[in-house]
A and B are shown apart, each in its own frame.
Chain A
Amino acid sequence: MRTGLILGIESSCDETAAAVVREGRETLSSIVASQIATHARYGGVVPELASREHLRNIMPVVRAALTEANITLDDLDAIAVTEGPGLAGALLVGISYAKSLAFPLNKPLIAINHLEGHIHAVLLEQAQIQGDALPLPAIALVVSGGHTHLYLARQQHKSWHYKNIGHTVDDAAGEAFDKVAKLLGLGYPGGPWIDALAPHGNPAAVPFSFAQIKPKVYRKETQRHNFSQQFFFSFSGIKTAVLRYVQTHEMAASIEARRSTLARIPNPRAADALPLCDEQTLGLIASFQRAVVEDLRRKTFQAAETFGAASILVSGGVAANRELRVRFTAEAADRGLPVAFPSLALSTDNAAMIAAAAWPKLLASEFASPELTAVASLPLGT
């Protein structure tokens, strides 16, 4: 008898995570190793960027997910695991463990693309909270420290289909936040620091501009994939522009003073940095964030118009940015388009999104072969 319960396992990069989700719409448990580091009852989980740590975490994390969901392995309809993209060694830990659970129990194994997972993090919560699904097709912006991708997401019969219509050609948006925060002597990850400080500065203080991505820079025709470069992103230039601004305005001494003051505070927060930032610094921070958010907003909504999307969803760590949410929500309202974001817990890497993305694949009987292996640079869609 079908229970609709899927165990999801995610170990593509920094996080080891496991979750149990029913029918892609009800989260029974969602365990992320770094978030239970202090829960000794789960066997002393150590969050760390190493396959060895994934190996150490995977069993306690899966056990915790089953315990919290109050089910046993026998109750599961399937086991889903991230196939890629990510670090091969880290992915293999999750894949090997998922296989070792699935085969002896004779449960289907389902392979999930990490980026598809991020899209389903939003769909899962929409179904959970709103009770009804987003109108399709949707433009999905997946934006994090490692990714900045635009997809057109559609559903045909039971299966989901994705068309990649844009991506960054250099740095991910989240990486730009990290690097600018570091340049200015703030903490890591940079996003929350910049987000908290930006409202205190003048977003028009520094005029940043995004040069159009120029195909002529490159020798070969880059139209091979037949997608318009209109929806390509580039965040390397703004990072360099911030560096030049800091140099030409001789801000090095004040940045160093801020860095060393923050280094003396245990677990410093953005509130600790605010009194250490002058008006010029706050203006730079506000202008940087405004420029990045506006670039993401403009291209996402242009894509929605071009492809006739009926809704917009934003996922990944940068989806937690408050200015991004405000400006996307405002423009969506103007255009009469529904827009959806994940909760903070589901915007960063987690396994509930993997289990949720697996449900339509279970219905369509799209199962992984026993030879499933890690694909470090797995693309999503066509």
Chain B
Amino acid sequence: MTQATGTRVHEFETSSAADTIRVGREIVKLLAPPKFLILKGDLGAGKTTLVKGIAEALDAAEPDEVTSPTFTLIHEYEGTRHEGGKDEPVMLYHLDLYRIEQERQLDTLGLDEISTPDSIVLVEWGDKFPSVVKRANGEIVMKTTGGDSRKITVALRD
């Protein structure tokens, strides 16, 4: 696999929504804050479903409480990351820039304020804006591979 130096790639296959939630919980192990990741995937690929698993593993929200931020733009969850026998507080942000049309409108979201050392930021439609891409230190790509099956690729830059 050809990848830029310093990028680690992890791949997952899922066969149902419940499976995608399970992978979300697993992915948390890879997400040591600070993380600012572009979350890519077509309509129905399961982006919100994956975030349900991530939020649950962080004790940040019940899966039922994690909903799509398309209209509301930004959802914020306060959680705890349990890694290496330690509990560290973490802020999880789920953003969707679909409705944002211009770079200057990004001001509303306060990306500087949410990009803290203890935050995990997941941004849908983040690749619309060069400034957001520049800020990102990785991406999660979700692809439909027929029926309910999905391929999930997590690429993290060092």
A residues adjacent to B (C-beta < 8 A)? 13, 48-52, 85-90, 144-146, 167-172, 174-175, 178-179, 183, 213, 217-220, 222, 224, 229, 232, 236, 239-240, 243, 376-377
Bin the interface of chain B by size. Answer: 20 to 34
Cα–Cα distance between A48 and B100 once the two chains are bound (Å): 10
Are A87 and B109 neighbours in the complex by a CB distance under 8 Å? yes
Assuming the A-B contacts A51-B108, A52-B107, A172-B67, are A222 and B62 also in contact, with contact meaning beta carbons closer than 8 angstroms in the complex?
Answer: yes
Assuming the A-B contacts A89-B108, A171-B67, A224-B62, are A13 and B21 also in contact, with contact meaning beta carbons closer than 8 angstroms in the complex?
Answer: no
B158 lies within 8 A of chain A by Cβ: no
Kindly identify which residue among B62, B75, B108 contacts A377, using a CB–CB cutoff of 8 Å.
B75
* Total CB contacts across the A-B interface at under 8 A: 101
Lowest 6 A-B CB distances belong to which pairs? A240-B44, A146-B71, A145-B71, A146-B72, A169-B64, A50-B105
Kindly identify which residue among B22, B49, B68, B100 contacts A49, using a CB–CB cutoff of 8 Å.
B100
Residues of A within 8 A of B67 (CB): 167-172
Assuming the A-B contacts A13-B72, A170-B48, A217-B63, are A240 and B43 also in contact, with contact meaning beta carbons closer than 8 angstroms in the complex?
Answer: yes
Are A169 and B109 neighbours in the complex by a CB distance under 8 Å? no
Q: A175-B68, A217-B63 are in contact. List 13 more A-B contacts (CB 8 A).
A: A13-B71, A50-B108, A89-B107, A89-B109, A169-B66, A171-B68, A218-B63, A218-B64, A219-B21, A219-B22, A220-B56, A222-B64, A232-B64
What is the chain B residue whose CB lies nearest that of A92? B110
Q: How far is the CB of A166 from chain B (nearest CB, A)?
A: 10
Interface residues of B in 43-62 (CB under 8 A from A): 43-44, 48-49, 56, 62
Are B108 and A90 neighbours in the complex by a CB distance under 8 Å? yes
Q: How far is the CB of B127 from chain A (nearest CB, A)?
A: 18
Cα–Cα distance between A157 and B105 once the two chains are bound (Å): 44
Are A87 and B43 neighbours in the complex by a CB distance under 8 Å? no
Residues of A within 8 A of B73 (CB): 13, 87
Are B105 and A49 neighbours in the complex by a CB distance under 8 Å? yes
Assuming the A-B contacts A49-B100, A50-B104, A87-B109, are A219 and B56 also in contact, with contact meaning beta carbons closer than 8 angstroms in the complex?
Answer: yes
- Best-buried of B63, B66, B76 by chain A (most CB within 10 Å): B63
Q: List 30 A-B contacts (CB under 8 A).
A: A13-B72, A49-B99, A49-B101, A49-B105, A51-B107, A51-B108, A52-B107, A90-B108, A145-B71, A168-B67, A169-B65, A170-B67, A170-B68, A171-B48, A171-B70, A179-B70, A218-B18, A218-B56, A218-B64, A219-B22, A222-B62, A222-B63, A222-B64, A229-B64, A236-B44, A236-B48, A243-B43, A243-B44, A376-B74, A377-B76
Cα–Cα distance between A169 and B67 once the two chains are bound (Å): 6
Contact with A along B94-113 (1 / 0, CB 8 A): 00000111001101111000
Kindly identify which residue among B17, B21, B108 contacts A87, using a CB–CB cutoff of 8 Å.
B108
Cα–Cα distance between A36 and B12 once the two chains are bound (Å): 50
Residues of A within 8 A of B56 (CB): 218-220
Cα–Cα distance between A183 and B67 once the two chains are bound (Å): 20
- Best-buried of B56, B66, B104, B108 by chain A (most CB within 10 Å): B108
Assuming the A-B contacts A90-B108, A146-B71, are A169 and B43 also in contact, with contact meaning beta carbons closer than 8 angstroms in the complex?
Answer: no
What is the chain A residue whose CB lies nearest that of B77? A377
Residues of A within 8 A of B62 (CB): 218, 220, 222, 224
Q: How far is the CB of B79 from chain A (nearest CB, A)?
A: 13
Are B108 and A376 neighbours in the complex by a CB distance under 8 Å? no
Assuming the A-B contacts A13-B72, A172-B67, A232-B64, are A217 and B44 also in contact, with contact meaning beta carbons closer than 8 angstroms in the complex?
Answer: no
Cα–Cα distance between A229 and B64 once the two chains are bound (Å): 10
Cα–Cα distance between A87 and B69 once the two chains are bound (Å): 11
Cα–Cα distance between A50 and B17 once the two chains are bound (Å): 34
Kindly identify which residue among A48, A89, A168, A169 contacts B63, using a CB–CB cutoff of 8 Å.
A169
Residues of B within 8 A of A49 (CB): 99-101, 105, 108
Cα–Cα distance between A296 and B157 once the two chains are bound (Å): 44
Cα–Cα distance between A174 and B68 once the two chains are bound (Å): 12
Are B63 and A52 neighbours in the complex by a CB distance under 8 Å? no
Are B68 and A217 neighbours in the complex by a CB distance under 8 Å? no
Kindly identify which residue among B49, B68, B100 contacts A172, using a CB–CB cutoff of 8 Å.
B68
Q: How far is the CB of A182 from chain B (nearest CB, A)?
A: 8
Residues of B within 8 A of A179 (CB): 43, 70
Residues of B within 8 A of A175 (CB): 68, 70-71
Are B71 and A174 neighbours in the complex by a CB distance under 8 Å? yes
Cα–Cα distance between A86 and B74 once the two chains are bound (Å): 9
Cα–Cα distance between A175 and B100 once the two chains are bound (Å): 15
What is the chain B residue whose CB lies nearest that of A93? B108
Cα–Cα distance between A243 and B147 once the two chains are bound (Å): 12
